[in-house]
Chains A and B, each alone.
Chain A
Amino acid sequence: MSTQGLYKYHDVIGLLSPAGPGFSGPMAVATGPDGMLYVANRANPNQPDGVRITRCTKDGDFLDQFGVWGEGPGEFIWVTDFAFSPQGEVYVADEHSHLISVFDRERNFSRRFGEQGSGPAELDRPSGLEFGPNGNLYVVDTLNHRVQVLTPEGEYISQWGSLGVGEGQFSMPWGIAIDAAGDVYITDWRNDRVQKSDADGKFLMSFGSSGDGEGQFNRPNGIAVDLDGDIYVCDWMNDRVQVFDQAGSYKDVLVGHSGMSKWGRTFLNANPEIERKLELASQNIELKQRFYRPVSVHVDEDGKVYVADCYRHRVQIYQKL
């Protein structure tokens, strides 16, 4: 159970793997238009074969994967986030090449846009991506400390934000969520806070400060809003996910309760000697259940909360009660 008892641990999907069933440094998780779970894998700089987007069922059955490491069309190096357009296309941000790549509903590469810079429609290490109800693409433009609003074709519409600590200013923002009303939530990463604005960037509210207490953050990144308006924030360096109500008041915290995944069980059944070693590692059991750098959170229509547990190569799932 979560600390306040509002969420119950449900399941885990994951296994450290550079391909097929498994993840490698999952950076983003979301439900696709086909109802399946999509997970973007960053891998690490020296394991390029692990870079891909995995598609699986919410029960943890592997379906397929798309996208590979590289700088050519349909490839990416440092994947940070992805978002689905109203038409079901997948937009993928790559903060190495400063590009956003678009894949069609069948996950075939379609097109890409973006170039490094600070001008309109230019990007400097893009991270969070989300589509608004208006069909526009919102891009967190991290090193330009701003949010840009683009058409689905990548044409510039508007922007807000600059480097600073004031309202509407950011310091290396990372994650983004948009609620049903079109209001935008940004994790203001190095300012340890969340800022909420309307669809045009007009400041509405902020919450959070630096620290590890309730409602405090140590470099927040992934963020989501559920159908009730509750806000979920990956409190990255505090290794937890905090839940807030619509007003930004603290409600609950998830810390990770992972068991063994279906993929992991299959692996251990085939490698019993590794399971024996794992059982010996008694001091580490607590560590093995908990989040280690949760980076992305997603809530589906059933109230299931999916957390990309990046350094543990898994997605932990909670059920909202």
Chain B
Amino acid sequence: MVSTNTDKPLLAHLLRRAGFGATFQELDRYSQLGYEAAVDELLHPERQPAIEEDVLERYFIDWKESRNIEGALTESVYRMNAYAGGRPLQEKIALFWHGVFATGLAKVLHEKTMLNQIDLFREHGLGNFRDFLLHLAKDPAMIFWLDNNFNHKDAPNENWGRELLELFSLGVGMDGEENYTENDVKNAARAFTGWTIDDDNVASIPFGKTPWLFRYLPEDHDDGEKTFMGHTGNFNGEDIIDIIVKQPATARFISRHLYNFFVADDVQVPAWQHTPPGDPEAIKVLEEEYFRSNYNIRSMLRVLFNSDTFKSDQARFAKVKSPAEVVVGTLHLLGDFKFPKRGIFEVALGCRYMGQDLLNPPSVEGWHTGEEWIDSGSLVERVNFVADRVSDIAQPGVRAMVDTLLDRTVELDPVSVINGCLELLGHVRLHEKNKEHLAGEIRSMLDQRSGLVAGSTEERLSAENTVLHTMKMIGSSREYQFA
């Protein structure tokens, strides 16, 4: 029996943003905890059990090696789905940083090294931003992606130094002002000379790939004096990061990213220099928490999730789901792939077909979000992906939803079927107009068949089909594409 706890729609909203949505059973559990405790639990994924890595590796024997993009994509989506119940924010924050620190296999061409970067996001993505940036600067995938292995004492390469400032911390500018100069870029690049990787792009044969490793070469480091953002010294990369994290622009940049990802769709990043935040008060609160907490992302998210802005009715269903949210959210709802089996790759491809090629973002700028996720082709993919699956009674999660709804129903009527399905699918909302249209369709169905639930086997099957059809229609709706 589904409880009618009034907090559940809010908790469902929280889980859609901090995770990939929640099953009705999970919402029951979270409602027992209460909202703030649920937020706390989400913010500490490390307190929840890990998935059974040994069993995964037992059946996916290339799990650790991931020597092709198919294997890496499989690993990535399987892991997101496996953790969607227990540690959803761990996966969501990794997805968030994957979009910000966008690194791609199109260039890196080393799947395990890419997956190690995603692991870095999982492990440090909720922690101290200064430490996180330092790990990122030593991440072999990032070093290769932005050519820092070609950044030498006598021949600096500015790619990493530039993107560190432009796309990973300060942003080009804010409030109409530039945040840094070309000299800052040049000196940041000089400070990171000698930060390289052990073996660039070693071929996969004779005995398979080994993960790339960070290496610091002091003899290739420019130890000369540098001036960076008004500070002068014989800076190394760590000093540059220390200066960066203290800048108000960094607080603004990270706050806008968090707001855009977790609260409401904002304009795309290149427009931030000249376009103020849509909700300046909310951003200001996050900026203050950034400094108050000594750059702690977890603290910023705690403030964000507990804010009235986040909990407001206005924030709900205000974001277009990303393809990963559509795919993983649906898999999670279905309870599918909870034990290793073949087929996850074909499902994972759904993300690519909907416009989000995981592990291979379109550029260092990452994916454009919001309405830019949607075009006529991707919309069809989305609708088909969801509709086909949420009406598949063979899926354990669908079976549980149908049985739960029918077990509390004596005789079906259009309104109770629709409301029950909306609730079980995660307190989804339908516009009244669409609800009325769907109710009319269900009424027509019920006119031609029995609405009794506890009757004969045929009547029960008929009732199940009515519920499944309703879920399919909800999964096909425009509203279902919003988180």
Majority-rule SS of B interface residues: loop
Q: For the complex formed, measure the closest distance between the CB of A66 and the CB atoms of chain B, giving whole angstroms.
A: 21
Docked complex Cα distance between A264 and B199 (Å): 19
Query: Per-residue CB proximity of B194-234 to A under 8 Å, as 1/0?
Result: 00001111111111101001010000000000000000000
CB-defined contacts of A96 to chain B, threshold 8 Å: 342
Q: Given A277-B199, A284-B199, is A293 in contact with B64 using a C-beta cutoff of 8 Å?
A: yes
Q: In the assembly, what is the distance between CA of A14 and CA of B64, in Å?
A: 19
Q: Given A45-B345, A284-B210, are A25 and B62 neighbors across the interface (CB < 8 Å)?
A: yes
Given A172-B58, A284-B199, A293-B64, are A46 and B74 also a contact pair (CB < 8 Å)?
Answer: yes
B50 CB-CB contact with A under 8 Å: no
In the assembled complex, A250 has its CB within 8 A of some CB on chain B:
no
Interface size on B, residues (CB 8 A): 31
Q: Counting CB contacts under 8 A, is B130 at the interface?
A: no
Binding-face segment, B65-73, B258-266, B368-376: B65-73
Interface: B60 (CB within 8 A)? yes
- Measured CB to CB, the nearest residue on chain A to B207 is A312
Q: A45-B71, A281-B202, A283-B215 are in contact. Are A314 and B207 (CB under 8 A)?
A: yes
Complex contacts, B68 vs chain A, CB 8 Å? 44, 46-47
Q: Is A278 engaged at the interface, CB distance under 8 Å to the other chain? A: yes
User: How many whole Å from A270's CB to the nearest CB in chain B?
Assistant: 11
Residues in A with CB closer than 8 Å to B61 are 25, 27, 42, 44, 293, 295, 310-311
Across the interface, do B206 and A15 meet the contact criterion of CB distance under 8 Å? yes
How far, in whole Å, are A237 and B74 apart by their CA atoms in the complex? 21
CB <8 Å contact, B208 and A313: yes
The residue from B60, B70, B74, B205 contacting A267, defined by CB atoms under 8 A apart: B205
Top 5 A-B pairs ranked by shortest CB distance? Answer: A281-B199, A264-B206, A46-B70, A44-B62, A283-B198
What are 17 of the A-B contact pairs (CB < 8 Å)?
A15-B205, A15-B206, A16-B208, A25-B62, A45-B345, A46-B70, A78-B342, A172-B58, A264-B205, A284-B210, A284-B213, A287-B210, A288-B210, A292-B64, A311-B61, A311-B65, A313-B207
CB distance from B67 to the nearest CB of A (A): 7
- Rounded to whole angstroms, the CA-CA distance of A196 and B204 in the bound complex is 40
* B interface residues (Cβ-Cβ under 8 A, vs A): 54-55, 57-62, 64-65, 67-68, 70-71, 74, 198-208, 210, 213, 215, 342, 345
A246-257 vs B: 1/0 string, CB under 8 Å? 000000000000
Chain B contacts for A295, CB-based, 8 A: 61
**Roughly how many angstroms separate A14 CA and B55 CA in the complex, as a whole number?**
26
A274 at the interface (CB under 8 A from B): yes
A313 to B207, CA, bound (A): 6
Which residues of chain A are within 8 angstroms of B198 by Cβ–Cβ distance? 280-284
For A47, A281, A288, A292, which residue has the most chain B Cβ atoms within 10 angstroms?
A281
A258 interface residue per 8 A CB criterion:
yes
Closest residue on chain B to residue A279 by CB atoms: B199
Chain B residue contacts of A95, Cβ below 8 A = 59
Q: How far is the CA of A312 from the CA of B61 in the complex (A)?
A: 12
A36 close to chain B: CB less than 8 A: no
Check: A263 CB closer than 8 A to any chain B CB.
yes
Tell me the nearest residue of chain A to B72, going by C-beta.
A46
Whether, in the assembled complex, A298 has its beta carbon less than 8 Å from a beta carbon of chain B, the answer is: no
Other A-B pairs, 19, CB within 8 Å; known A45-B70, A281-B199, A311-B208: A16-B205, A16-B207, A25-B61, A44-B68, A46-B71, A46-B74, A47-B68, A219-B54, A263-B206, A264-B205, A267-B206, A274-B203, A274-B205, A277-B201, A280-B199, A287-B210, A293-B57, A295-B61, A311-B65
In angstroms, Cα B342 to Cα A96, docked, is 8
Closest Cβ of chain A to B409, distance in Å, is: 35
CA distance A132 to B460 in the complex (A): 52
The interface size of chain A toward B, counting residues with CB under 8 Å, comes to 47
Using Cβ atoms and an 8 Å threshold, which residues of chain B touch A19?
none
Distance, CA A15 to CA B345, complexed state (A)? 26
Tell me the number of A-to-B contacts counted with CB atoms below 8 Å: 110
The 8 Å CB contact of B207, one of A14, A44, A280, is A14
Please give, as numbers and ranges, the residues of chain A lying within 8 Å of B62 by CB-CB distance.
Answer: 25, 44-45, 311
Please report the C-alpha to C-alpha distance between residue A258 and residue B206 in the assembled complex, in whole angstroms.
12
The answer for the CA separation of A42 and B207 in the assembled complex, in Å, is 15
Interface-centre pick from B71, B203, B207 (highest chain A CB count, 10 A): B207
**CA gap between A69 and B215 in the complex, in Å:** 41
Whether a CB of chain B sits under 8 angstroms from the CB of A261 is yes
Knowing A44-B68, A281-B198, A283-B215 touch, does A16 contact B206 (C-beta < 8 A)?
Answer: yes
Tell me if A1 counts as interface (CB < 8 A to partner B): no
- B58 and A288 contact, CB distance less than 8 A: no
- List, in ascending order, chain B residues with CB within 8 A of A314's CB: 207
**Which of these, A14, A46, A172, A287, contacts B206 with CB under 8 Å?**
A14
Given that A45-B345, A282-B198 are contacting pairs, would A312 and B74 also be in contact in the complex, using a CB cutoff of 8 Å? no
Q: How far is the CB of B211 from chain A (nearest CB, A)?
A: 9
Residues B202 and A312 in contact, CB atoms below 8 Å apart = no
Q: Which residues of A contact B208 (CB under 8 A)?
A: 16, 292, 311-313
What are the residues of chain A within 8 A of B57 when measuring CB–CB? 237, 293
Indicate if A190 sits at the interface (CB-CB under 8 A).
Answer: yes
Q: A288 touching B203 by the CB < 8 A rule?
A: no
User: In angstroms, how far is the closest chain A Cβ from the Cβ of B178?
Assistant: 40
**B199 engages A46 (CB within 8 Å):** no
What chain A residues lie within 8 Å of B203 (beta carbons)? 271, 274, 277
> A16 — which chain B residues lie within 8 A by C-beta?
67, 204-208
B64 touches A278 (CB 8 A): no
Bits for A305-318, please: 1 = Cβ < 8 Å to B, else 0: 00000111110000
**Contacts known (A46-B345, A310-B61); A288 close to B199, Cβ less than 8 A:** no
In angstroms, Cα B77 to Cα A30, docked, is 36
Query: In this complex, which of A15, A44, A282 has the most chain B Cβ atoms within 10 angstroms of its Cβ?
Result: A44
Q: In the bound complex, how far is the Cα of B207 from the Cα of A95, in angstroms? A: 26
Find chain B residues with CB under 8 A from A310 CB.
Answer: 61
Q: How far is B295's CA from A39's CA once the two chains are assembled, in angstroms? A: 53
Inter-chain contact B74/A45, CB cutoff 8 Å? yes
Q: How far is the CA of A43 from the CA of B205 in the complex (A)?
A: 14
